[in-house]
Amino acid sequence: MASVLVVEDDQFVRSALIRQLTEASHTVRSVGTALEALREVAHFRFDVVILDLGLPDLDGSEALKMLRGITDVPVIIATARDDEAEIVRLLHAGADDYLVKPFSVDHLSARMAAVLRRSRAAGEPPPSRALRVGGLTVDPLRRQAELDGTPLDLTRREFDLLAFLAGRPGVVVPRKELLAEVWQQSYGDDQTIDVHLSWLRRKLGETAARPRYLHTLRGVGVKLEPPVETRP
Ligand code: CA
């Protein structure tokens, strides 16, 4: 059970969300504008905020920036636009996850559960030793990663994915396991993993065609290992 703030100006979508979340025994408050949302998070503690991007008063990324200015509550973006560039920008701007409308309440619940597990786990002491794979260093405690001494600017999910793989260098991790461990989902489409892998690859300065660290084995899984040139 979680305390949820729904920020959505569409009456119909909003009441459907409230009804379904309440039925799933969450506590829900809702508003229709970004400014009201800011007032809400300033006055109440929420476990998660579901933020519609098409609000009447503020642009979604502006709303997110202002929210992030006053709280680190997990934010799930609800967008009608399946626009990769926009989504990447928002993940960098502090969104924890996103859903493209229309989405089912089951899908939303799964994403919420994953976000909540992560934010609750963040309060526990994480394993403290930095992982090293070739020129890659991943420090789960500080949530920092470096490649050949240069810090990598990763989204939360990219970091989780990299850290999970770096903890098992040379091991082919099945996609199912990645979904379960990194996304905390027992189902999902391969595209989710592929998209994040391709973002991660770009940041590692490699491509699927010319992999160095990240290797995709079609139909099997993914593995992270030191590039050939750094192996003894
Ligand atoms: Ca809207």
Tens-digit pLDDT profile for residues 65-77 = 889 888 889 999 9
CA of 8 to the centre of ligand 1 (A): 6
Question: Are residue 214 and residue 190 in the same domain, yes or no?
Answer: yes
CA of 9 to the centre of ligand 1 (A): 5
- The yes-or-no verdict on residue 230 having pLDDT over 70 is no
Residues with Cβ within 8 Å of residue 104, at least 6 apart in sequence: none
CATH of the domain at 189: 1.10.10.10
CA of 51 to the centre of ligand 1 (A): 9
Question: Are residue 27 and residue 117 in the same domain, yes or no?
Answer: yes
CATH of the domain at 18: 3.40.50.2300
In this prediction, residue 104 has a pLDDT band, given cuts at 50, 70 and 90, of confident
CA of 13 to the centre of ligand 1 (A): 9
Phi/psi-derived region of residue 60, left when phi > 0, alpha when psi is between -120 and 50, beta in every other case: alpha
In this prediction, residue 126 has a pLDDT band, given cuts at 50, 70 and 90, of very low
Q: Can you tell me the distance from the alpha carbon of 178 to that of 184, in angstroms, rounded to the nearest whole number?
A: 8
- The secondary element (H helix, E strand) that includes residue 139 is strand 136-139
CA dihedral 63, 195, 163, 61 (to 10 degrees): -10
Question: Are residue 50 and residue 69 in the same domain, yes or no?
Answer: yes
- What is the rounded average pLDDT of the residues 121-137? 74
Question: Are residue 115 and residue 162 in the same domain, yes or no?
Answer: no
What is the predicted pLDDT for the residue at 128? 52
CA of 79 to the centre of ligand 1 (A): 8
Q: Is residue 229 in a domain?
A: no
CA of 14 to the centre of ligand 1 (A): 9
Where is the domain boundary, 122, 140, 174? 122
CA of 189 to the centre of ligand 1 (A): 26
Least confident of 17-31, 99-113, 117-131: 117-131
- What is the rounded average pLDDT of the residues 15-40? 92
Q: Is residue 231 in a domain?
A: no
In this prediction, residue 127 has a pLDDT band, given cuts at 50, 70 and 90, of very low
Q: Is residue 232 in a domain?
A: no
Question: Are residue 106 and residue 144 in the same domain, yes or no?
Answer: no
Question: Are residue 7 and residue 111 in the same domain, yes or no?
Answer: yes
- The secondary element (H helix, E strand) that includes residue 217 is strand 214-217
- The yes-or-no verdict on residue 147 having pLDDT over 90 is yes
What is the predicted pLDDT for the residue at 232? 57
pTM of the predicted structure, to 2 decimals = 0.55
Average pLDDT, the chain: 88
CA of 17 to the centre of ligand 1 (A): 13
Q: Is residue 162 in a domain?
A: yes
What is the predicted pLDDT for the residue at 102? 86
Question: Are residue 118 and residue 147 in the same domain, yes or no?
Answer: no
Where is the domain boundary, 100, 122, 144? 122
Question: Are residue 182 and residue 84 in the same domain, yes or no?
Answer: no
- The yes-or-no verdict on residue 121 having pLDDT over 80 is no
What is the predicted pLDDT for the residue at 123? 64
Where is the domain boundary, 122, 153, 176? 122
Residues with Cβ within 8 Å of residue 34, at least 6 apart in sequence: 7, 55, 57, 58, 62, 63, 66
Question: Are residue 26 and residue 45 in the same domain, yes or no?
Answer: yes
Residues 28, 22 contacting (CB under 8 angstroms): yes
In this prediction, residue 59 has a pLDDT band, given cuts at 50, 70 and 90, of confident
How many domains does the chain divide into?
2
What is the predicted pLDDT for the residue at 69? 86
Q: Which residues pair with 139 in a beta bridge?
A: 144
CA of 69 to the centre of ligand 1 (A): 22
CA of 45 to the centre of ligand 1 (A): 23
Question: Are residue 96 and residue 182 in the same domain, yes or no?
Answer: no
Question: Are residue 115 and residue 19 in the same domain, yes or no?
Answer: yes
CA of 33 to the centre of ligand 1 (A): 9
Q: Can you tell me the distance from the alpha carbon of 53 to that of 79, in angstroms, rounded to the nearest whole number?
A: 6
Question: Residue 186 is part of which domain span?
Answer: 131-224
Question: Are residue 11 and residue 85 in the same domain, yes or no?
Answer: yes
| Helical segments of the chain, H only | 11-23, 34-43, 60-70, 84-92, 105-121, 156-166, 175-182, 190-204
In this prediction, residue 181 has a pLDDT band, given cuts at 50, 70 and 90, of confident
